[in-house]
Amino acid sequence: MNLDRIIKNKKTGKVLTNQIMSKYTTFNVGGKVDYIVYPKSVEKLIELIKILRSEKIKYKILGNGSNTVFNDEDYNGVIIKLDEFNDLHIKDTIIKVGSGYNLMILAHKLSRMGLTGIEFATGIPGTVGGAIYMNAGAYKSDMGYIVSEIKVLTPELEIKTLYNSDLDFHYRTSFLQENPGYICIEVTIVLKHGNKDIIMDLIEERRKKRLMTQPLEFPSCGSVFRNPPNDFAGRLIEECGLKGYKIGGAMVSPKHANFIINYENATGKDVRDLILYVKDEVKKKFDIELLIEQEFINWE
């Protein structure tokens, strides 16, 4: 079928064909994808999913690609990006924001307004929806502390509100991660008033620390593994002598052992193989099963 023609006739939104996924992921890896579609509304998203389901075409909702490892093989399906879901409404300390809004931009914007509680997110790449899915966090805080409710599209393509108590937020996981058929479309965040100067000083202090301790000059997905209880994944990996270890163009960062970097034109296979190798080595040495934060896509 000519999906391109059908989608354009339906005026779904912007359609890109024959794209390379390495342009859309922070690891800069991945093969060709048939279509990337940017639905311009929830109604158009529903319409698109109905078409894809009826034609049995696989699809994947993708945020900023900041926690994904794509295969180098072609993805024969549709990547759906919700970048057009970017409305932002601020009323005192209550923020309603579309799931496609950039999390770092949002965190900086709100912090500059003197709103406190979202400072932890100023260094986290990704979209707001992706951050809910992963329960993204840093500095002993995460989305679960500031999100009051979200609107989702259910697997039955109905719009429903889920409240904080429904979302089962825990360390780097949420209801959405355990129920991937649900699609986050809007988020309500509640913050507090704070001292703008103190907030911005804290953000700047943390930014400088990240520059010194994290390999931000290379493509990566941030921390690869969740920290096990009462320990740090980076410490365990370093104790295995894996800092600087390479597979192909992928490397365990010499600066921070819980970062794997695209050091020199790494493939998706290089990155995935290195992640799994590190996981196995830590298991062998410490009998600790590290949990991977990244999602492997198109490896079936």
Active site residues: 172, 223, 293
Minimal CA–CA distance to 233: which of 284, 291, 187, 158? 291
Q: Residues 228, 288: contact at Cβ < 8 Å?
A: yes
- Say if residues 233 and 258 touch (Cβ distance below 8 Å): yes
The Cα 35–Cα 17 span in angstroms is 5
Report how far residue 292's alpha carbon sits from residue 245's, in angstroms, rounded to the nearest whole number. Answer: 18
157-179 burial string, b = 16+ CB within 10 Å, else e? eeeeebebeebbbeebbbbbbee
**Amino acid code (one letter) for 281:** E
C-alpha distance across the termini of the chain, in Å:
24
